[in-house]
Structure 1
Amino acid sequence: MTHDARSALLRAALDAAERGWHVLPLLPGAKPPALHGEASCPRRGECAAGHRKWEQRATTDPDRIRAAWSRAPFNVGIATGPSRLVVIDLDMPKPEDDADTPCGVTSFTALCERAGQAVPTTLTVRTPSGGRHLYFTTPPGIRLPSSKGKLAKKIDTRAGGGYVVAAGSITPTGLYEPVEASVAAPLPSWLLTILKPAPRSVQAPSVAVTAQSRRYADTALSRETHNVATAQQGGREAALFRAARALGRFVAWGDLPRSVVEDALQGAGESAGLTASECRSTLRSALNWSIAHNQQRREAA
């Protein structure tokens, strides 16, 4: 990568931080986080008091950003939860989708029409596939979870527990670039109402159990992503399949959002040499199977 391209990625990270958005480095030319997991945590620096996962380590500190991006031409991730953002991901149909599957833009336009609302104008980033990321801010004190398909088909959201690839980042399929507006608008109240999680009717697990489960899930995500990204030719699809089967249980138990698992393994699979369609097909079948067969939490082996 040229020096100019590397400088542009640093500038993209700093620009996001200037907006108050917490950034993290992603693997060069890919989408998974370029941060150590709990198993390989050095217990130094920002992790001196204990391992901090990627959402906690995302930062707006320009000195830390310059130090990180001086080491490699990292792509830029924005941790949407601490940044108080909801990013609505309007995806394009995949090769395995039905022929009449609408794109996310069409689905979102139809959703707005059914709600009697105009399509909101806000900061919009075009993805390499031709999709759109619509950036919105959330009201103080409101924390929304990430979601998949909750608004409509081919529409996901990145919020708490999720991240989005920032404008200026580059993958083998192209560039993430802003195409509309320059400011993230407040999330419309009617969308906020839809995206708010329903009140839980069952007793939540204790804080200690929940924290332990999520730490284990984060470690597993880091390990499985590494296994897929480093898989050798001839075993890449099998590695991706095994990883999705292993991580699907954490999605079923609520420890990891499905969108985070899919993004991490999709990026790792493409980095290893699989095509985007091969990754999507394998991930869909393996995750669906694992989620369906792991509805009851059990102790991890």
Structure 2
Amino acid sequence: MNDHLLYAALSAAERGWHVFPLRPRTKRPALHGEEQCPQIRDCAGGHRKWEDRATTDPDRIRRAWADLPFNVGLATGPSRLLVVDLDVPKRSNGDTPCGATTFQALCERAGQAVPDTYRTRTASGGQHLYFTAPPGTRMPNSAGKLGRLIDTRGWGGYVVAPGSLTPAGAYTVLDNRAPVPLPAWLHGLLSPSRSAAPSRAAIADRAFRAHRYALRGLEAEVWSVARAMQGERNSTLLSAARALGRFIAWGDLPRDVVEEALQQAGEAAGLSPRACTATIRSGLNWSIAHNSQRRTA
């Protein structure tokens, strides 16, 4: 089993794709988290997340897969990939089309054929379509932006590579051709209509009374949310809302400016608009209630 998964990891690395270990028979990263970081080896200069530690180095890969049957995670951002994830409904429901059917309809409406590119079958029966990302871009993840049961994985995201095994089944290759460039029409649909992180000038124009410290705090929290990785997006958004609510309570930032900035960053990270709105409202309300008076230094 180790040899099979080691081969899968090395095969992906030969294509220039950056890999990292997932826990055996799961889709969860096997690398330590920030709280458990030993601050040695790769993390000697500070904690490095899975996206930063993903590698194409065959020696590092052989050492990582030497003892345990780790599944293979593929960091899409460093691999310069944009992967379209076509999922299937969690439960059998004749009224709910799968992601592949919805994607085919999307292509037909655009007057385009379903792209022929590297394609894998997921353990649940869904599909992953691999595309090379447009040069000079850092495309984020998205959830449902192209349609129901269609997500995308770019910077801040990863997919399970073929050869990996879970209790639900195996990840296998359906079409082994090289990934083709992301079609321009798909790129256009995925490009945000508004910037994920409003510029300082734009924020200052609407919040001219805000203190510089509050503006710096807003920029930092928005950047943190937009870069949050899968599995930490909602908690990062909630933490940001709680951190920024005090500036609203103290009159340093208008609530609508904070809500708009966090909403855009949350959606850019891959959260649904409804989930973003609910989390932001909850975090801001909590913070405002607990920061009615400005604390003095």
TM range (shorter): 0.7 to 0.9
Q: Is 1:209 equivalent to 2:209 in the alignment?
A: no
Cα pair distance change 1:143/1:290, threshold 3 Å: closer
Do 1:139 and 1:186's aligned partners in 2 also have CA atoms closer than 8 Å? Answer: yes
Give the counterpart of 1:294 among 266, 270, 280: 280
The one-letter code of the counterpart of 2:141 is: S
Cα pair distance change 1:195/1:291, threshold 3 Å: same
Provide the aligned length of Structure 1 versus Structure 2.
Answer: 246
Give the counterpart of 1:139 among 124, 134, 139: 134
How far does the alpha carbon of each residue in 1:252-272 deviate from its partner, in whole angstroms, 9 at most, with x for none? 85479457xxxxxxxxxxxxx
User: Which residue of the partner structure matches residue 208 of structure 2?
Assistant: none
Give RMSD over aligned pairs.
3.3
Do 1:251 and 1:257's aligned partners in 2 also have CA atoms closer than 8 Å? Answer: no
Q: 1:93 offset after TM fit, Å?
A: 1.3
Q: Is 1:127 equivalent to 2:119 in the alignment?
A: no
The one-letter code of the counterpart of 2:23 is: L
User: Which residue of the partner structure matches residue 150 of structure 1?
Assistant: 145
Q: For structure 2, which runs of at least 5 residues remain unmatched after alignment?
A: 201-214, 242-261, 291-297
Q: Is 1:92 equivalent to 2:81 in the alignment?
A: no
Q: Is 1:47 equivalent to 2:36 in the alignment?
A: no
Cα pair distance change 1:289/1:132, threshold 3 Å: closer
Q: Is 1:83 equivalent to 2:86 in the alignment?
A: no
Cα pair distance change 1:156/1:28, threshold 3 Å: same
Cα pair distance change 1:35/1:292, threshold 3 Å: same
Q: For structure 1, which runs of at least 5 residues remain unmatched after alignment?
A: 222-243, 260-283
User: Which residue of the partner structure matches residue 9 of structure 2?
Assistant: 13
Higher relative contact order (CA 8 A, sep 6+): 1
Do 1:162 and 1:257's aligned partners in 2 also have CA atoms closer than 8 Å? Answer: no
Cα pair distance change 1:67/1:160, threshold 3 Å: same
Q: 1:199 offset after TM fit, Å?
A: 3.2
The one-letter code of the counterpart of 2:193 is: A
Which of 1 and 2 has greater Rg? 2
User: Which residue of the partner structure matches residue 34 of structure 2?
Assistant: 38
Give the counterpart of 1:163 among 158, 162, 165: 158
Cα pair distance change 1:211/1:8, threshold 3 Å: farther
Do 1:81 and 1:160's aligned partners in 2 also have CA atoms closer than 8 Å? Answer: yes
Q: Is 1:189 equivalent to 2:200 in the alignment?
A: no
How far does the alpha carbon of each residue in 1:211-262 deviate from its partner, in whole angstroms, 9 at most, with x for none? 9946x967x94xxxxxxxxxxxxxxxxxxxxxx9856736985479457xxx
TM-score (norm 2): 0.73
Distance 2:161 2:42 in 1: 23
Do 1:127 and 1:133's aligned partners in 2 also have CA atoms closer than 8 Å? Answer: yes
Local SS of the residue matching 1:294 = helix
TM-score (norm 1): 0.72
The one-letter code of the counterpart of 1:249 is: L
